Amino acid sequence: MDSHPIIAVTAFEHVGPYTLRLTFDDETNQTIDFSPILYGNIYGDLRDISLFNQVSIDPDFETLTWPNGADFDPATLHNWPEELPAFLKAVEKWKQSPSAVQS
């Protein structure tokens, strides 16, 4: 049985449009451009840069969160290069949804 790592986001900084540099409790960093995955009912709303920029760290779950309820598992953020292909595959489905937010 695989154990799910307990990871916490401890800090972030904006480094570009839709791009954040994250620091984790294991002292690693990850720079993530979220723009390719901002589709669907929850993440699509974040294409509004003013909403995206309202990102914060949830004090209870120690991950990124936005006012519209969007968030990510901190382990997903920590392992973003490995997780991105699955998100991009989901984006293709989200784009085909009648409620998909398109730019």
pLDDT tens sequence across 24-65: 999 999 999 999 999 988 999 999 999 999 999 999 999 999
Q: What is the CATH number of the domain that holds 78?
A: 3.30.2020
Number of domains in the chain: 1
- DSSP 8-state code for residue 24: E
Cα-based angle 99, 73, 60 (whole degrees, multiple of 5): 110
In a domain, 3, yes or no: no
Does the residue 40 lie in any domain? yes
- Determine, yes or no, domain membership for 101: no
Q: Is residue 92 part of a domain?
A: yes
What is the reported pTM?
0.86
d(CA 38, CA 36): 6
Q: Where does the pLDDT of residue 20 fall: very low under 50, low under 70, confident under 90, or very high at 90 and above?
A: very high
